[in-house]
Amino acid sequence: MIKIQNTTIDDFNFICHLFEEAILYQKNKGFSVWNGYDIAVLKADLEKKLQYKVIEGDTILCVFSICFQDSIIWREKEKEDAIYLHRIVVNPLYRGQKQFEKILLWAKEFANSKNLRYIRMDTWGENQSILDYYMSYGFKFVESYTTPSTLNLPIQHRNLYLALLEYSI
């Protein structure tokens, strides 16, 4: 039985491990690589109950974070009418098993319950395979954007060339 629920402090070391594994995977595959990950942001997401885990039994299949405003990246498109998916990291043992499909189903229900119009996310702008993957779930390409190098963004989101994607509810 698959469940999606908030992460807990007991999950934190494993979440950090998943981020380290994701960075290693990106490097080994020759993809763009996160420039580390911001532990303070991950802890804040956990404390604010904005970080979730997809679990089966006691096993974490993947983690992700949400927010309700992303004006640095979405700029003038930000109208507080969306849920934003961020920092999706899949447990390497469960890669290739459509974990994102579970997240999207949850996000649709969540967005509907909050009367939000969109699910938005960003991803690597030069990785066509990941763009195709997300677009196969109904996301539309909005634009390419290079993020500023600002302390208001987590380390892994600074000065990145991104593709902005949107799913209409």
Residue 78, phi-psi category: left (phi > 0), alpha (psi -120 to 50), beta (remainder): beta
Number of domains forming the structure of the chain: 1
Q: Which domain holds residue 74?
A: 2-168
For the stretch 22-73, pLDDT in tens is 989 888 877 766 777 888 889 999 999 999 999 999 999 999 999 999 999 9
Element of type H or E holding 144:
strand 140-146
CATH number at residue 55: 3.40.630.30
What is the identity of the amino acid at 42?
L
pTM of the model: 0.92
Residue 106 has what DSSP assignment? H
Burial class (CB in 10 A: 0-12, 13-18, 19+), 35: middle
